[in-house]
Amino acid sequence: MKREDLLHPIISGNKFRKLKYNIEAAKKQNQEVLLTFGGAFSNHIVAVAGAGETFGFETIGIIRGEELHDKISENPSLLQAQQLGMKFVFISREQYRLKDTADFIEKLRKDYGEFYLLPEGGTNALAIKGCEEIITDLDFEFTHICTSVGTGGTITGIINGSANNQKIIGFSSLKGDFLQNDIAKFANKENWSLNSDYHFGGYGKVTDELIAFINEFYQKYQIPLDPIYTGKMMFGIMNLIENNYFPSNSKIVAIHTGGIQGIAGMNKALEKKGKTKIIL
């Protein structure tokens, strides 16, 4: 396992990679504000807030769900981002669907002034460039590189940074195969596949089986896995190994993309349902 989650205590894993060149670009443009989008427990929101504090930017988070406005103290992710200096704008789910439109972005500039725009999840061309650096010369000895997939930016960078003879497997945390086209647009190789068999119900969904696996994994290896991304990936890898998916003599590296901050929020939800919580 490649512990990208240990790169930075707040700007963790793939978020560190995605933000690296965007922060450089914002500085070159003399921008003072970073504005981005995210949901209630977004790793990206916390990472951008951390980047703002670390590199001297003001940060604004456009948050999906007006009902969260008076529930910040109940939400570990939003509370941490607020403590790091992020200002929030809570909007309806209907408004949130317009976040990528020119008219909506223009209205944000009128309301909040000039800013450097970071997309939801942080994926853009500069983010992919940063994720290419996940792969180093030491990783070329592996036959298979596995990663979790959300927006597709991380796996695209890994594909671009990989050797032609390596196999890149993405484990999607979302239902469906719609990310195939998004990845193919920016990937410079065809040595990859997207596995959608281990989403456990879709984005943000978990099962008792997944939680039990994450806890057993932590007890055995002392490595925390988040329930949205890396937990599902590792479950998938182990299941494929058990079913002889990988050829003999395969050497597999799993990319730990971070996301550990989201466990606190998930545990609150599990506690409300009377379910077993994730061990930390």
Average pLDDT over residues 140-161: 96
* pLDDT tier, 272 (very low <50, low <70, confident <90, very high otherwise): very high
Which has more pLDDT, 116 or 280?
A: 116
pLDDT greater than 90 at residue 280: no
What whole-number distance in Å separates Cα of residue 167 and Cα of residue 204? Answer: 27
pLDDT greater than 90 at residue 147: yes
pTM above 0.75, yes or no: yes
Average pLDDT over residues 158-169: 97
Phi-psi region of 238 (alpha: psi -120 to 50; beta: other; left: phi over 0): alpha
For a pLDDT cut of 70, what percent of the chain falls above it? 100
What whole-number distance in Å separates Cα of residue 58 and Cα of residue 49? Answer: 8
| Nearby residues of 201 by Cβ (< 8 Å), 6 or more positions away | 175, 207
Predicted confidence at residue 129, as pLDDT, reads 97
Predicted confidence at residue 107, as pLDDT, reads 96
Beta bridge partners of 58: 33
Average pLDDT over residues 47-59: 97
What whole-number distance in Å separates Cα of residue 231 and Cα of residue 240? Answer: 14
pLDDT greater than 90 at residue 159: yes
pLDDT greater than 80 at residue 177: no
pLDDT greater than 90 at residue 175: no
Average pLDDT over residues 26-49: 96
Of 110, 73, 70, 119, the C-alpha closest to 90 is 70
Buried b (16+ CB within 10 A) or exposed e, 124-134: bebbbbbbbeb
Q: Are the beta carbons of 38 and 63 closer than 8 angstroms?
A: yes
Q: Please name the residue ranges forming H helices in the chain.
A: 14-28, 43-55, 76-83, 93-96, 102-112, 125-132, 153-161, 179-186, 208-221, 230-242, 262-272
Mean pLDDT of the chain: 96
pLDDT greater than 90 at residue 266: yes
Predicted confidence at residue 166, as pLDDT, reads 98
Q: Are the beta carbons of 5 and 12 closer than 8 angstroms?
A: yes
